[in-house]
Amino acid sequence: MSRLWWVRHGPTHARGMVGWSDLAADLSDAAALARLHARLPAGAVVVSSDLRRSRDTAAALGRGIDAVLPALREMHFGAWEGRRHDEISAEAPDLARAFWTEPGDVRPPGGESWNDLRARVGSAVEGLVAAYPGRDIVAVAHFGVILTQVQRARAISAHAALAQHIAPLSLTRLERMGPGPSGWRLLGVNEGGLP
């Protein structure tokens, strides 16, 4: 049995859509980091997205980083990167609406779809479970990345998954009970974290 302890990186304070932009995280809340550190299992494998906000958050937790994985990056928003939803909606209302209300195969120009993200992250998770069987794995990553795994464990639609809040520095816990996508159980979602 493997357990994944998903940690969302610290806040970036960015106002637009932030996917592959390599922004720094605000890690000034030492008390929040200490609370999160205390919740994580001793001796766990620690992995991180390759983006700075995740790597720096993982380092701030004081556990070391065993692997940095580009496959744990946030969704690639393509031409929408860094832009606000209202700007995108004014420019491409139908595409913007479909992206949020009917996620799945809808892609921003030059970006990836929810299903692309889900497949990328799912493959990375399967690789982690195979590489570290029966271990606790702390994975420091992003909002969308974590939600793909909430969707997987709950067997819900992408639209329903996107309605779930995942706060910065929050913890989402999953347990692998058996092989295949239905073998995951959600133990806790969006625990702690910043308001």
Residues noted as catalytic? 9, 74
Query: At residue 180, does pLDDT exceed 70?
Result: no
Strand 2-8: give its sheet, edge to edge: 67-69, 45-49, 136-141, 2-8, 170-176, 184-192
Question: Look-up: residue for tokens 């795994």?
Answer: 149
Tens digit of each residue's pLDDT (9 = 90 or more) over 88-127:
999 999 999 999 999 999 999 999 999 999 999 999 999 9
Name the pLDDT band for 27 (thresholds 50, 70, 90).
very high
Tens digit of each residue's pLDDT (9 = 90 or more) over 58-91:
999 988 999 999 999 999 999 999 999 999 999 9
Q: What letter does residue 167 receive in the DSSP assignment?
A: -
Other C-beta atoms within 10 Å of 171: how many?
A: 23
The Cα 19–Cα 120 span in angstroms is 14
Residue-level pLDDT at 128? 97
Quote the mean pLDDT of the chain.
95
Residues 179/183/188/194 CA torsion (nearest 10 deg): 60
CATH code for position 100: 3.40.50.1240
Query: At residue 50, does pLDDT exceed 80?
Result: yes
For the chain, the maximum distance between any two Cα atoms, rounded to a whole number of angstroms, is 49
Instruction: Let me know the angle formed at the C-alpha of 57 by 100 and 82, rounded to the nearest 5 degrees.
Output: 35
Query: At residue 17, does pLDDT exceed 90?
Result: yes
Total structural domains within the chain: 1
Query: At residue 181, does pLDDT exceed 70?
Result: no
**Host domain of residue 96:** 2-192
Strands 45-49 and 67-69: parallel
The Cα 162–Cα 180 span in angstroms is 22
Cα Rg of the chain, angstroms: 16
Query: At residue 46, does pLDDT exceed 80?
Result: yes
Name the pLDDT band for 34 (thresholds 50, 70, 90).
very high
Name the pLDDT band for 41 (thresholds 50, 70, 90).
very high
